[in-house]
Structure 1
């Protein structure tokens, strides 16, 4: 039988894995590369980190009556749309990474201090539909962080080919660049054949 202590440890372990995966995607890249948008909707590495820092401070801080002292002007009522999803030239890598690490510490303190069934109130949700347990909040943050770590996987691969969960263990199939090129070509050929088959059937 899983105890609340086990559940708390499991939630924290998987959340921490996602946090670290997201941060290592910045390592070894230029200021331009960590900031440049690589999708039509502007997805960029440093913006993802900035965004999830705010998510942690909100759902695992303010929601449970533990607001941080961190100024987050990009989340204010007068902020421009999507201001939390990219870094301005005067927002340094160090300041955003530092903010994220402080957000971890603040969120971890909430997780340590409160039972998982503690009820919190999400300040930015509509009244009457804005309560959630700490367990729900952690699952929400964990899910969102892993989702954005996946975005970061793809963005980093587009920049320099860097892939995987960790720098020292990428969890990818073994193979050199020639193997991956052959593999990719096989996937491409399968897609073209399937599309041809569909066209022939219609």
Structure 2
């Protein structure tokens, strides 16, 4: 496999990992904010869809024809969550469409093709396709990691996918014991740090 194929393969795998985190969940759970900053599963999928349209569309002069949520005065963070009127199917369709559009751009252009990213600083505004592929691959992997944590908080499902969890095989009791061991170590370290701090202050 050549370098382009390898990069595209990793991107496709991480896309699949992220999308799979919606499987088996109801409407509330895929949309509910799980962090103080509002991070939610369906919003991550929606966001990555628009990220791909931008980086593999306009950046290389290959616009998709799809509108962005912030066009015509829409709110800046509208790509990070879904309104009640937006169906899960519509968000997933956008995600799949953006993936196909991205793949077509990657397949049509050489890795040294130069694009223009208007939202990047002037000195790095004209990256190659190679750079953009790495950038987007890293971003999608980051969001897939976010989704891993959100899904585990929602219903306890953990790991990369049902076919490949990439986790050690442990029973629920063994996981509870493992977590308790980490908790005890954290508390002990905090106590040691506090004691060390007090000793330094006394000294």
The alpha-carbon deviation at position 77 of structure 1 amounts to 6.0
Q: Residue 166 of structure 2 aligns with which residue?
A: 171
- Partner of residue 41, structure 1: 37
Question: Using a 3 Å threshold, how does the CA distance of structure 1 residues 8 and 196 change in structure 2: closer, same or farther?
Answer: same
Does the 8 Å contact 1:19/1:145 carry over to 2? yes
Is contact 2:43–2:80 with CA below 8 Å preserved after alignment? yes
Query: For residues 3-82 of structure 1, what are the structure 2 equivalents within 5 Å?
Result: 6-72=2-68, 74-76=69-71, 78-82=73-77
Aligned-residue offset at 1:124: 3.4
Alignment counterpart, residue 101 of structure 1, candidates 96, 102, 108: 96
When the two chains are superposed, the root-mean-square deviation of aligned CA atoms in Å is 1.3
**Mapped pair 1:122 → 2:114:** no
Q: Which runs of 5+ in 1 are unaligned?
A: none
The structure with the larger Rg is 2
What's the offset of the Cα at 1:69?
A: 1.4
TM-score, with length taken from structure 1: 0.94
Unaligned runs of 5+ in 2: 198-203
Paired residues of 1:62 and 1:123 also in contact (CA < 8 A): no
Cα distance per residue 1:22-53 (max 9 Å; x no partner): 00000000000000000000000000000000
Q: Distance in 2 between matches of 1:142 and 1:160?
A: 27
Establish whether residue 86 from structure 1 lines up as the match of residue 94 from structure 2.
no
Runs of 4+ in 1 over 3 A off after TM superposition: 123-129
Q: Which residue of 2 aligns with 1:183?
A: 178
1:150 corresponds in structure 2 to 145
Deviation at 1:168, TM superposition (A): 1.3
TM-score by length of 2: 0.93
- Does residue 106 of structure 2 align to residue 111 of structure 1? yes
Contact 1:117/1:134 (<8 A) preserved: yes
Cα displacement (A) at 1:127: 5.3
